[in-house]
């Protein structure tokens, strides 16, 4: 598989998230260069970037290896998301463009349609696209980059149960867009916080080499949709 040198970091990260490289396994420059069809120089640079992001660690006598995050580190990621996603929505209410609103509204329409049809795989990708667009609408490169990295790491460390109430989840997405469109930053922040906290309870830790799965709950809030569009 030959890819552009500038895409090596993305390719290795995607393969780590997908489980192609097991946690704790060695990542040798020679083998990675051969796999992606590049020289060792972009591989070396990619490994440095991935180490800074927390996907890779350098071990004495072993070199670069896939990181092995602890349960606490994994839980911290979900807590960070609960804090940062609402901030991004509040910023988006002040800085979004009409182009952002068009995409967000289109995604909500598609999500609500797929929810009625029960297309869980489509819903997962649409949800990711929605939150990525919402972060971009914040107008903050630093915040968008941080949230993107969080999503990658959460996808790596957790599996996510299919929503038992997808229509309700996409009603929440719609309420977020309504608040963003009105420029109501506090409403956007509050609705997004409830939405993300509720979604967090569906995350289960992945454990290599075992069947153990722990449900992570950071909030017991019940989302009441009756007043979200008022």
| pLDDT tier at 1, thresholds 50, 70, 90 | low
- pLDDT above 80: residue 209: no
Mean pLDDT, rounded, of the chain: 87
What is the secondary structure of the chain as a DSSP string? ----GGGHHHHHHHHHHHTSS-TT-B--HHHHHHHHTS-HHHHHHHHHHHHHHTSEEEETTTEEEE----HHHHHHHHHHHHHHHHHHHHHHHHH--HHHHHHHHHHHHHHHHHHHHT-HHHHHHHHHHHHHHHHHTTT-HHHHHHHHHHHHHHHHHEEEPPPS-HHHHHHHHHHHHHHHHHT-HHHHHHHHHHHHHHHHTTEEE--TTS----B-----PPP-GGGTT-
| pLDDT tier at 97, thresholds 50, 70, 90 | very high
- pLDDT above 70: residue 208: no
Span 92-113, average pLDDT: 97
| pLDDT tier at 221, thresholds 50, 70, 90 | very low
């Amino acid at each position: 598989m030959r890819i552009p040198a500038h895409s090596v970091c993305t390719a290795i990260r995607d393969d780590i998230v997908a489980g192609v490289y097991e946690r704790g396994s060695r990542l040798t420059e020679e083998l990675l260069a051969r796999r992606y069809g590049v020289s060792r120089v972009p591989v070396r640079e990619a490994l440095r970037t991935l180490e800074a992001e927390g996907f890779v660690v350098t071990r004495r006598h072993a070199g670069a290896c896939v990181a092995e995050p602890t349960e606490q580190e994994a839980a911290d990621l979900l807590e960070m998301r609960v804090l940062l996603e609402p901030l991004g929505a509040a910023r988006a209410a002040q800085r979004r463009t009409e182009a952002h609103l068009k995409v967000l509204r289109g995604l909500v329409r598609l999500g609500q349609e797929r929810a009625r049809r029960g297309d869980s795989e489509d819903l997962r990708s649409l949800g990711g696209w929605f939150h990525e667009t919402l972060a971009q609408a914040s107008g903050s490169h630093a915040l968008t980059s941080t949230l993107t990295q969080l999503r990658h790491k959460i996808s790596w460390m957790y599996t996510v149960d299919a929503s038992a109430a997808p229509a309700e989840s996409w009603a929440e997405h719609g309420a977020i867009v309504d608040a963003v469109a009105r420029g109501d930053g506090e409403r956007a922040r509050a609705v997004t916080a409830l939405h993300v906290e509720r979604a967090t309870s569906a995350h289960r830790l992945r454990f290599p080499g075992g069947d153990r799965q722990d449900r992570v709950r950071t909030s017991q809030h019940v989302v009441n949709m009756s007043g979200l569009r008022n």
